[in-house]
A and B are shown apart, each in its own frame.
Chain A
């Protein structure tokens, strides 16, 4: 068996807040192989971004382990961390605030190249920067422009070029298209897919848009208040979602098919908070099927190959 590019085991992040402890991410386990994409979906506040940032070590984890190409990087520091980070990059949600407004596009891409120490002369640096910008499709005339002169889609391309500079094995894409219009969104999604086919990177794709995730992911992990409630191969999840939350999430999306009226599963109330959670299923207060058994801790069970679910009533509901 090949080593997965990224493996996380029982990863946790707790924050101390005045009211107690906020369990932002609470025991997440998964692996991502080369050339594969894991889509992470959930509502705002469910811990998807925290999870992404924790894996590439932008924030420290409270508990659990992170493996990059089989090597434990959970607590590496200094030079070793720098080395690990070269293999992991991130594309951010907001292309307006994730680029330095004072750097021209070319300089933004050159910055990491300089740090890599792979290039001896300025000419080589420029050549590599140009190659990267060709790759992501930034026009020649825009390479000397400042970020404020570009629209969202083009800025996001600069962000992608920058992420590719180190030839990473793993990229965390944190809602990279949610700030873009649909026509531009499709361009960026296609670009990300092409780059993956070309270079075999593993993606962790964080989004709240399930149609985007269906298009780009091989596996999908659904999160609710810091916990994974369901994880399955994309096709399987859309064919047969099992967790009540996944079902509600899927039914809430307005489809463009006007011939079929929507059959919405209405959820009660809103997402609560992960501060001092009770031991049971965190979705229970909004769940249509909640019973007393749901107040006990839920285990993630494999119901069919690669299809995991954390719900004690899965067999009765479906």
Chain B
């Protein structure tokens, strides 16, 4: 497959399993996508769908054991990250690819000042001396809206929203090409969430950075992303640009997700939830993994893997019954 020049990351058939006791958890089952320069891709799905596992395998920070990357390629700058030795990965983490973790309370080292934590990656990846790195750390703090003179304070002296800003400053320290943001605002209040999303959007535009945003909040997706991949049981079940997914969802799961959100602008008498629960990842159902919960389920869905269908240009869906599904 040829990869066009503006694609900065290309994930091909990624497969990850976790071994737990004697069971095998199929966390990611053949995920492929491309990410262009400056694009923001949202990975949307329920807890346990495999979103975070995908992000962590890109950075190669999955704990092994229990996690094993069984197959696939993650190509960045014509090199397969999965084939690189650990010493090479150390040069990529924090420099080319950076990650914002979900919980700002645990992502920071409580025994280090925030300035030192931001300067740490600068000292590792650049030839700055300590004073220049700290100066730069102060600038980064100012950039995310924290007074620079607070660089010598410890994480406990900051509130949740400010800690998340510090984590963002750390991630952006070396101007990465790709930012992985794992639920960056889930732990925050809405008014603070609005501030952080605004900040991320602004920085992204200034630096032409690509981003993978992991979230289960479709509202956040609508306000920040260019394209959307809906993940279910470790597979992308629908992929397309934001418009096609929001205005013309085609997979029964995506449609179900939209219907289960209470509306902020309309009065709804009754929500229509998706019945049932996520399947047991150690024992995925045969055929389409979503079929036990799907209201459009037909006989052919119960056996045999479904294949991707292109319902409109660039909008693909993993469903055998894509013509029969109506919004």
Q: How far is the CB of B110 from chain A (nearest CB, A)?
A: 20
Interface positions, chain A 119-154, Cβ under 8 Å from B, are: 151-154
Do A266 and B257 touch (CB < 8 A)? no
Do A254 and B220 touch (CB < 8 A)? yes
Decide: A248 near B191, CB < 8 A? Known: A215-B271, A256-B261.
yes
Do A254 and B222 touch (CB < 8 A)? yes
Chain B contacts of A254 at CB under 8 A? Answer: 193-194, 197, 217, 219-220, 222-224
Q: Is A59 an interface residue (CB 8 A)?
A: no
Q: Please measure, in the bound complex, the distance between the C-alpha atom of A190 and the C-alpha atom of B277, giving whole angstroms.
A: 16
Q: Is B325 an interface residue (CB 8 A)?
A: no
Do A255 and B264 touch (CB < 8 A)? yes
Do A252 and B190 touch (CB < 8 A)? yes
Q: How many A-B residue pairs have CB under 8 A?
A: 124
Q: Is B159 an interface residue (CB 8 A)?
A: yes
Q: How far is the CB of A128 from chain B (nearest CB, A)?
A: 26
Do B219 and A235 touch (CB < 8 A)? no
Give per-residue flags for A146-190: 1 if the beta carbon is below 8 A from chain B beta carbons, else 0. 000001111000000000000000000000000001111111011
Decide: A266 near B242, CB < 8 A? Known: A185-B260, A253-B264.
no
Do B265 and A255 touch (CB < 8 A)? yes
Interface positions, chain B 219-246, Cβ under 8 Å from A, are: 219-224, 242-243, 246
Q: Please measure, in the bound complex, the distance between the C-alpha atom of A47 and the C-alpha atom of B68, giving whole angstroms.
A: 45
Q: Is B111 an interface residue (CB 8 A)?
A: no
Q: Which of A105-113, A206-214, A297-305 contacts B (4 or more CB under 8 A)?
A: A206-214
Interface of A is mostly: helix
Interface positions, chain B 266-307, Cβ under 8 Å from A, are: 267-268, 270-275, 277-278
Q: Is B126 an interface residue (CB 8 A)?
A: no
Chain A contacts of B261 at CB under 8 A? Answer: 182, 186, 211, 256
Nearest B residue to A234 via CB reads: B267
Q: How far is the CB of A199 from chain B (nearest CB, A)?
A: 18
Interface of B is mostly: helix
Give per-residue flags for A215-227: 1 if the beta carbon is below 8 A from chain B beta carbons, else 0. 1100000000000
Do B260 and A266 touch (CB < 8 A)? no
Do B243 and A258 touch (CB < 8 A)? yes
Q: How far is the CB of A74 from chain B (nearest CB, A)?
A: 31
Do B265 and A270 touch (CB < 8 A)? no
Q: Is B46 an interface residue (CB 8 A)?
A: yes
Do B262 and A212 touch (CB < 8 A)? yes
Do B242 and A258 touch (CB < 8 A)? yes
Q: Please measure, in the bound complex, the distance between the C-alpha atom of A187 and the C-alpha atom of B217, giving whole angstroms.
A: 17
Do B159 and A215 touch (CB < 8 A)? no
Do A256 and B258 touch (CB < 8 A)? yes
Do B262 and A211 touch (CB < 8 A)? yes
Which of B159, B160, B256 is the one whose CB lies under 8 Å from A183?
A: B256
Q: Please measure, in the bound complex, the distance between the C-alpha atom of A208 and the C-alpha atom of B46, giving whole angstroms.
A: 20
Chain A contacts of B270 at CB under 8 A? Answer: 190, 193
Chain B contacts of A6 at CB under 8 A? Answer: none
Q: Is A267 an interface residue (CB 8 A)?
A: yes
Do A264 and B273 touch (CB < 8 A)? no
Chain A contacts of B223 at CB under 8 A? Answer: 254-255, 262
Do A189 and B222 touch (CB < 8 A)? no
Do A187 and B222 touch (CB < 8 A)? no
Chain A contacts of B277 at CB under 8 A? Answer: 151, 153-154, 184
Q: Is A236 an interface residue (CB 8 A)?
A: no
Chain B contacts of A214 at CB under 8 A? Answer: 262-264, 267
Interface positions, chain A 222-277, Cβ under 8 Å from B, are: 235, 238, 248-259, 262, 264, 266-267, 270-271
Q: Is B92 an interface residue (CB 8 A)?
A: no
Q: Is B47 an interface residue (CB 8 A)?
A: yes
Which of B46, B191, B243 is the one whose CB lies under 8 Å from A267?
A: B191
Q: Please measure, in the bound complex, the distance between the C-alpha atom of A259 and the C-alpha atom of B265, giving whole angstroms.
A: 14
Q: How far is the CB of A210 from chain B (nearest CB, A)?
A: 6
Do B198 and A190 touch (CB < 8 A)? no
Give per-residue flags for B171-196: 1 if the beta carbon is below 8 A from chain A beta carbons, else 0. 00000000000000000011111110
In the assembled complex, 19 residue pairs joining A and B whose CB atoms fall closer than 8 Å, in A order, are A152-B47, A181-B46, A182-B46, A185-B273, A186-B261, A186-B262, A187-B275, A251-B194, A252-B191, A253-B219, A254-B194, A256-B221, A256-B246, A257-B222, A258-B246, A262-B223, A264-B194, A264-B198, A270-B159
Given contact pairs A183-B257, A238-B265, a sample of 10 additional A-B residue pairs in the complex whose CB atoms are under 8 Å apart? A151-B277, A151-B278, A182-B257, A186-B273, A186-B274, A190-B271, A215-B271, A251-B194, A256-B261, A257-B222
B-to-A contact residues, CB < 8 Å: 46-47, 159-162, 189-195, 197-198, 216-224, 242-243, 246-247, 256-265, 267-268, 270-275, 277-278
